[in-house]
Each structure stands twice: as structure tokens, then as C-alpha cells.
Amino acid sequence: MSSCMGRTYHVRTLSESQLPQAYPLVQALASEHSLNAWLSYAKGFVAKGINAGGVLSAQDDAGYIYGLFCYEVVPDLGGGRVLVVEPFVALDLVDRLGPITVLIEAMERLAREQDCVSIHLQIPQRGDMRAVVDFRPFRAAGYKLEGVRLCRRLAQEDPRNI
């Protein structure tokens, strides 16, 4: 729990029934994702359970969701386990750093509880970049650029040509 600018944030695990409530954050990240696409994606994390994966959120006292991340614990090629976080999204027009701060703290706590050797965090560079305010809180928490992730989108076949 963290209190920033008069608002208190609580980190809570999202259940499958709460996933639709988080959809506006996902749309702020990438408006092309449908509700069904979000639910299908996130249900995969919720089904894994706390030890292998899940969806954590930053909520205020009223239960409004201001940030979230999906995570899974995977083996690391160098040995040990890694907490993989994707997507990470936080949005608050008044207090942008509050949700980010509590979620960063939650990632580290979770990684330590799961005996992970590192956290791999993916922050998309498309969509409304206001969804993640700036990288300073991540840098202050010890995150650094390590490697590059390349992506090539494969065009879908035009159904009219089939």
C-alpha cells in the first residue's frame, strides 16, 4: 500500500471477473485491442495462479484500477527464474507516479517471493504513451536497458484473396 498526493493505492490480484474492469487501461495502452482479445490474453495469466503468473493491479480505496501488469515466472537460460512482466500500464491524470511506484514495489516483492534472479519488464512503445508517464521511476528503482526486443508484425492475409 502506498499513499501519494492524497490517494492511497493498494496492490491487488485481479480475478477473472475483474478483468473487464481493467479494460480501459489496456485501451489507453493500445486502442486496437478488443475487450475479447484482452480477456483471452489476461485469462491465461489468471489461470496460471500466483506461483506461475497472474495480473496485479494498483487500486484506490474505492476499487478503481489505476495501473496493472501481467506477469509470469519462467526459467532463465543462465539459471534461476525470471519474473516476466508484460504489459505494464499505469494511468492517472492527477497522480501519475503513484500507481507506477506501487506496481514497481509489487514487482520486486513478487520476484523475491518467487526466488527470481531478475525482472524482465516490457513497456510497449505504441499506443498512448501517457499510459506510462516516464522512465525515471524505473531508473530510480534500478531498472536499466538490457538488450533489445525486435518485433516484426506479420500481415494477415486479406480474406478476400482466399
At 79, list the grid cell: 539459471
**What are 19-71's pLDDT values in tens digits?**
999 999 988 887 888 999 999 999 999 887 666 899 999 999 999 999 999 99
DSSP state, 56?
E
The total domain count for the chain is 1
Q: Is 65 helix (H, G, I), strand (E, B) or coil?
A: strand
Residue-number span of the structural domain to which 146 is assigned? 2-161
Sign of CA dihedral 21, 44, 49, 101: negative
Integer Cα distance of 26 and 33 in angstroms: 8
Q: What is the pLDDT of residues 102-127, one digit of tens each?
A: 999 999 999 999 999 999 998 766 54
- Look up the CATH number of the domain holding residue 55: 3.40.630.30
pLDDT at 157: 61
Cell numbers for 97, please give them: 507516479
